[in-house]
Amino acid sequence: MSKNKSKKNIEGLKQFAEKKNQETIEKVNKVIDKLKRSKTKKINFKTVAEEAGVSKATLYNNPVLKERIMSLRAIEKGVPNDNIVATPKDKIKANDDKIKKLYEEIKKLKEDKQNLIVQLVDMEEVKYENKRLKGQLEQIRSIK
């Protein structure tokens, strides 16, 4: 029964987090549009973060918002878009390898977590059985 309740809570939390993320994206996009119309303020991570009431980390961690701000900032500076994300192929390959290793590690950690959960459930069953047997032993002793 508690497993179903916790699953519902997890789903609810996921939905809430997704909703908050969408609201943040909409809020940031509105601020960016406002800054594009403004001729006095520059579009950069600090300005957008302050105007939207979010942290700079939020902007950097969201790839869509990060790319949008970087490209608008580059346009303001007159830098061609090709130069924004220019990374050597070796670096991309190294990053891909790193990402694959991290995904493998995540997979292994998830398996370990699942195994630990099974062990925990088994331990709870053993504790319950032990308690039940102690109760029976006490009854037998009290009869003698």
Does this model's pTM top 0.75? My answer is no
- In this structure, what are the phi and psi dihedrals at residue 55, rounded to the nearest 5 degrees? -85, 160
Instruction: Output the CA–CA distances (angstroms, integers) from residue 93 to 11, 60, 90, 99, 131, in the order listed.
Output: 35, 22, 5, 10, 57
Q: CA geometry: angle at 69 spanning 66 and 72, to 5°? A: 145
CB atoms within 10 A of CB 36: 13
Q: Where are the domains of the chain?
A: 1-86, 88-144
The one-letter amino acid code at 40 reads: T
Assigned token pair, 36: 């594009």
Render each residue's pLDDT in the chain as its tens digit; 144 residues.
455 555 667 888 888 888 998 899 999 989 988 888 887 888 889 999 999 999 999 999 888 888 888 888 887 777 555 545 545 666 677 788 888 899 999 999 999 999 999 898 999 999 999 999 999 999 999 987
